[in-house]
Amino acid sequence: MRRVARILLLLLIGVPLTLGVAFAITVAVTPLPVPNLPEATEILDASGAPIRRLFTENRVALQAIDMPEHLLNALVAVEDDRFYAHHGLDPIGIVRATVRNLTARRIVEGGSTLTQQLAKNLYLTQERTFTRKLREAVLTVKLESTYSKREILAMYWNVVYLGQGTYGAEVAAQTYFGKSARTVTVAEAALLAALPRAPEYYSPFGYHLNATHQRRNLVLDKMAAQGYITPQHAEAAKREPIHLAKRKEPAEEAPYFIDYVVRELRTTFPAVANDLYQGGYRIVTSLDQATQRSAEAAVRTAAPPATANGTAGQPEVALVALDPANGYIRAMIGGREQRVDRNRATEPQQPGSAFKPIVYAAALETRLYTVASTQLDKPAEFPGAAPGEPWRPRNAGDQYSNRPAAMRDALRRSLNVVTAQWMNILKPGPVIGLAHRMGIEGEIPANLTIGLGSAEVTPLELTRAYAPLTNGGFAVKPIAVLRIMDRRGTVIAAQNTRRSRAMSPGVAFIVTDLLKDVLRPGGTAANVAGQLAGRPAAGKTGTSDDGRDAWFVGYTPDLVAGVWVGADDNSASNRQGSTAAAPVWADFTSRALHDRPQRDWAPPADVARQEICSLSGLRANRSCPTAREWFLAGTVPTEVDPTIHWTHLLPSEPSAPLPLPGAQPPPTTPPAPEPPAPEPPTPQRPPGPRWPFLRIPFRILKPS
């Protein structure tokens, strides 16, 4: 018997000891797996304000140091009151839970510690097997030996599901209270700690608010009983009403811009794109949310509502706005619906006359021609895209002056035949080369029709191509993603501004000066000038054949924006750039820049201004109607116009001025007496002729 007793004693001591040693060795040699914990990626605007979260599980992790003590204490009080007394496994807690469950004849208390729950959520499945429980125990002890108690609590708060599609205390606090978990009150912390038991049931957005209040008050009582707060503090917190944030539908801010960002990530940062919805990245973008809201308001206000099929009468709209200094995309709209089925800001369309400024910039770049150079505005025939097929461009409304037209007049009135004459002189090569340097990346066919916008471009491309006109001649690469940070806040990728010289500063300034006239009386977009309240601006309308596409690309020194209006089915209509697209641009620009000071473009060093004869383009003589024009240095006209412009000199018959509407008749008081006549002067040479042209020096009248 004694021998049997000794054997039993050895077994009672040896087996647990052996198992304990084996367990300790297992813990020591078992590495902690890398937790595959999905975390939401945050898309931020240029100022760091959130735009959207992309996730499979809506989670934003906080560091332990960022969590308030009462948030940690509330969790301990209700979920594991012996948390600071055990080392992950709690035999006393297991025995206590077993007794209470047997007494109640139902499960009223769990035996798992917070650390066990964390190990299960981080590394394991929910299967109920002995092997899984053994592995849970090993990982629990490993967690306790690796991390501090505070770190374990923070990890738990970051992992746990808290209802309404939220994971972790940070997203739950923002969802329920409209604030960060860093700033929750004791009462709010108690409510969050009440949720893990049954997240949807106890959710303050659910249908069991009485149960939610009772569960929160239970947490407060437990916090008081365990000394984390005083009883008085607990009672005050119980009386605190639950102030819930307004319930929000899934965010749809700037959907087309977000779509563009995701596509750019796939191209430029594929590793990030592959892990985008669970990698916990923070992506800082170029978007300015105030500018984006201005774009959305302008589209809603100035464009008619769309129909389901986007018919010609109710068109689709695309708008892109860039900062011309750095290429940052400040706003993007790819359609009139918030649902992104296609992004029209990146779909190619025919730009019509909105392409013309590139033609005139190419002409000036040669330095063989100036703004005073002219082409005949009359019907003409040119080589077509195919051999034997002549091209016969037409002006709008078949209106022709049958006179030479200078560049300013050609752009202001958008004269197609004059632009075709320039294309025939320049040939497609230089125009295509300049278009590519300015930022148009798509293929441009080498034929004369491209001067009138036959080659398709995207709104983003064409808007980018106008940036050199406002920033002194530099092409800029559009940038949507500025910086990418991993979940630890380390910057892992960044994009800097990329600029390249597209044209001389003088050419950019002169073309801009010409395009200002488009928004002045007589210009094709004069109808929207009043919306700008005197702000210096320039731009160009565009309309493709049969009104399929209406464009306006315009800019100020601070912002360049392009607007396209058209139908998805490419149907013809009577849309015009001046009436369909320009009002959207003007409304957007006035909203986006309402708090910016007005400023104009300063003349660069390589231009000079000269008064010229507006009829001949030469230096003006005294008979000329004059205009002041800008010229590239070295191209200023030096020859004086030898022609006497008699029609300009001959005076018209004088006529009495017409009274203004509402003007009062002149007073009938008698005139004042005339002063006495002065002594007659000494006779002089007879006065000259009354008409000024007879006083022109003889040397000007001599034939050249």
Residue 382: CA count within 13 A, CB half-sphere: 25
State the Cα–Cα distance between residues 601 and 593, nearest whole angstrom: 16
- The closest of 628, 365, 408 to 508, measured between CA atoms, is 365
The one-character DSSP state at 392 is -
The strand pair at 607-613 and 329-333 is best described as unpaired
Say if residues 143 and 88 touch (Cβ distance below 8 Å). Answer: yes
349: Cα separation from own chain's centroid: 21
Pair of tokens at residue 435: 């278009």
Task: Please state the φ and ψ torsions of residue 17, each to the nearest 5 degrees.
Answer: -65, -45
Q: Say which DSSP state 326 is in.
A: T
The residue behind tokens 């009938």 is 668
Which residues, 6+ apart, have CB-to-CB distance to 473 below 8 Å?
A: 501, 502, 503, 504, 505, 507, 508
Asked whether 355 and 453 are in contact (CB, 8 A), the reply is yes
Q: What is the spatial distance between Cα 403 and Cα 23, in angstroms, rounded to a whole number?
A: 100
Nearest Cα residue to 568 out of 296, 315, 257: 315
3-state helix, strand, coil in the chain (%, to 5): 40, 15, 45
End-to-end Cα, the chain, rounded Å: 144
Enumerate helices (H) and strands (E) in the chain, giving the number of each: 23, 18
In which region does residue 626 sit, left (phi positive, over 0), alpha (psi from -120 to 50) or beta (all else)? beta
Quote the CA–CA distance of 398 and 94 in Å, as a whole number: 93
Tally of CB atoms within 10 A around 560 = 29
Closest-CA residue to 641 (of 371, 404, 372):
372
Active-site residue, 571 included: no
CB atoms within 10 A of CB 652: 5
Q: What burial class does residue 413 get, using C-beta atoms within 10 Å of its C-beta: 0-12 exposed, 13-18 middle, 19+ buried? A: buried
Q: Which of 39, 42, 79, 347 is catalytic?
A: 79
Give whole-number Cα distances, 311 to 317, 340, 458, 573, in Å.
12, 18, 20, 10
Residue 482 one-letter amino acid: L
* H or E element that contains 554: strand 549-555
Which strands sit side by side in the sheet containing 50-54, from one edge to the other? 50-54, 41-44, 282-285, 481-485, 491-494
DSSP secondary structure of 596-656: SPP--PPP-TTEEEEEEETTTSSB--TTS-EEEEEEETT-S--SBP----HHHHSPPPP-P
Q: Is 353 a catalytic residue?
A: yes
Alpha carbon of residue 125 to chain centroid: 42
Catalytic residue among 353, 544, 590, 623: 353
Cβ-based neighbour number of residue 273 at 10 Å: 16
* Residues carrying an active site annotation: 79, 353
